[in-house]
Amino acid sequence: MIQLTKKPIDTEKLLAQACRPEAGAVVLFLGITRQFTGDRETVDLQYSAYQQMAEKQLQLLEAEARKRWSLTECLIVHRLGNVALSEASVAIVVASAHRGEAFAAGQWLIDTLKQQVPIWKQEHWKDGTTEWVHPGGSPEPRVRLTDRLGRVHTSLRISVTDRCNIRCFYCMPATDVVFRPREDLLTFEEIQRMAHVAASLGVTKLRITGGEPLMRSELPELIRQLAKVPGIVDLALTTNAMLLADQAEDLKAAGLDRLNISLDAMNEQTFQKIARRKGLDSALAGIAAARRVGFKNIRLNAVSIRGLTEAEILPLAHFARQHELQLRFIEFMPLDGDGAWSNTEMLLGQEVRDLLEAEFGLLEPAPRSDPSQPAVDYRFADGRGSVGFINSVSEPFCETCNRLRLTSDGQLYNCLFSSENWDAKALLRGGAKDDDLRQLFRDCVAAKQPAHGIGQAEFQSPERAMYQIGG
């Protein structure tokens, strides 16, 4: 049983429900509002949530706990609204025939709930100030790019081109693609300036995207410039790897930290059905080159498409495990260039996980090092590698989103699915000051919606396809 409530938690009622003859042990975990956090005094806490998303995630946690341990009862109750000092904000009651299982399940539930469930806590301090604490996080001492829901934005994805050397149907049209002329694209100097402004507002992560970013000439020079931006601690690149063999060494020398490689299939025929071009061998050669020049942090991203990629899931997993690569499966999203997306083509992340567990055994939840990451990660039971699931449609993670996007033609987006954008290029080429650009970032973040809305009656796919925004 799971419940979100604005009423005080009745622990006696929960314990009475769990204390049944078949239970050898009942464990109660309570989260209590404490008076002091460090040297700061708390008056009370206020909890907020996307209720539908939070309830769904709690249901998944309960199901996972029952799957991992033999439980006779599992009850999860979380308060919303104001919670006074010494009152319980969360209660977890687990019962099992065995004491050890009850303790293990309860501890796992309370730890995982804090990391993965979209419930925010706002600290009300005695000095009259307030601070948000995000799922799995701690109070932000210097909130900068913060939206109305308390989400702090620290990641900027920068597209450097809308051109690509393949035509993946989930990203681009097959034919009649109109690319932007070179003069419409931001220059390296303009991109670097936007990165500096973003960093001054608390952005710490940059990811270069496209189209296919390796088609932008002299890209290592841009990487070299961005690697020097003060405050940037993570610089990544998303690529299909087909041109990587020739550029991996220069990119590594320029200061690129890590690679995200789109690889949907290990079979050439399936690869061509998706990409509508040949290229699997070139992509594999690019991956090999990246490993050879010393890239240690390489992640494979595979889009899951019903009726097409089921047979690719296990080969991709074996390949990733063999070469010590991270692997993530992404649900097919309505960003295709042909505008033909249908949820009937979406292979759910849970279905992919079921196939993997049938082959490799039960996947073990991995620590969530970054509460804003889009993937939920798991370890293989034998310790050889990890796999993540980006269930953008079936299990949205909008509640912890920290990402902004800058298109190749200088438009700022606060969501892949946003119908609104903010024109940075006009400011960059119109003599604007850095303070004007900072305000543009703030305006963009302030207008961010609570969620992308896929599956809702009012949802409309964005006018731009994935290749025109940057993934």
Q: Are residues 240 and 319 in the same domain?
A: yes
Residues 302 and 437 in one domain: yes
| Residue at 150 is within a domain | no
Q: Does some domain include residue 144?
A: no
Distances (CA, A) of 204 to 96, 197, 333: 45, 11, 27
Q: What is the per-residue pLDDT for 138?
A: 42
Q: Are residues 78 and 185 in the same domain?
A: no
Same domain, 287 and 236: yes
Q: Are 21 and 96 in contact (CB under 8 A)?
A: no
Contact residues for 67 (Cβ-Cβ < 8 A; gap 6+): 362
Both 110 and 176 in a single domain?
no
Q: Give the chain's domain count.
A: 2
What are the φ/ψ torsions at residue 438 (nearest 5 degrees)? -60, -40
Strands 88-96 and 25-32: antiparallel
Point out the domain boundary residue: 133, 166, 200: 133
Listed residue (375, 396, 392) closest to 450, CA to CA: 396
Cα separation, 57 vs 365, whole angstroms: 14
Using 70 as the pLDDT threshold, list the residues of the chain that sit under it.
50, 132-143, 334-342, 369, 452-466, 471
- How much is the pTM? 0.69
Instruction: Judge contact between 452 and 458, C-beta under 8 A.
Output: no
pLDDT at 375: 85
Structural domain contains residue 458: yes
| 115 and 160 co-located in one domain | no
Q: Do 112 and 168 belong together in one domain?
A: no
* 274, 230 contact by CB (below 8 A): no
* DSSP string covering 416-443: TT-S--EEHHHHHTTT--HHHHHHHHHH
Structure tokens at 203: 């952005």
CATH number assigned to the domain comprising residue 245 = 3.20.20.70
Kindly state whether residues 83 and 163 are assigned to the same domain.
no
Residue 262 in any domain: the answer is yes
Omega prior to 431 cis, within 30 of 0: no
Burial class (CB in 10 A: 0-12, 13-18, 19+), 358: exposed
Between CA 436 and CA 428 the distance in angstroms is 9
Is residue 28 domain-resident?
yes
> Among candidates 309, 391, 318, 302, which has minimal Cα distance to 345?
309
Please give the residue range of the domain that contains residue 264. 155-469
DSSP E strand stretches across 223-277: 234-239, 258-262
| Euclidean distance between CA atoms 40 and 25, whole angstroms | 38
Q: Do 104 and 220 belong together in one domain? A: no
For residues 131 and 125, the answer to whether their CB atoms sit within 8 Å is: yes
- Alpha helices by DSSP H, 84-149: 99-116
- Residue 305: DSSP 8-state: B
How far apart are alpha carbons 284 and 300 in whole angstroms? 11
Side-chain-side CA neighbours of 68 within 13 Å: the count stands at 23
Is there a contact between 440 and 422 (Cβ–Cβ < 8 Å)?
Answer: yes
Check whether residue 167 and residue 259 sit in a common domain.
Answer: yes
Is residue 317 a part of any domain in this protein?
yes
For the chain, the 3-state helix, strand and coil shares in percent, each to the nearest 5, are: 35, 25, 40
Q: How far, in Å, are 10, 25, 45, 135 from residue 88 at the CA level?
A: 9, 22, 11, 17
The answer as to whether 7 is a domain residue is yes
Does 319 reside within a domain?
yes
pLDDT at 382 (0 to 100):
92
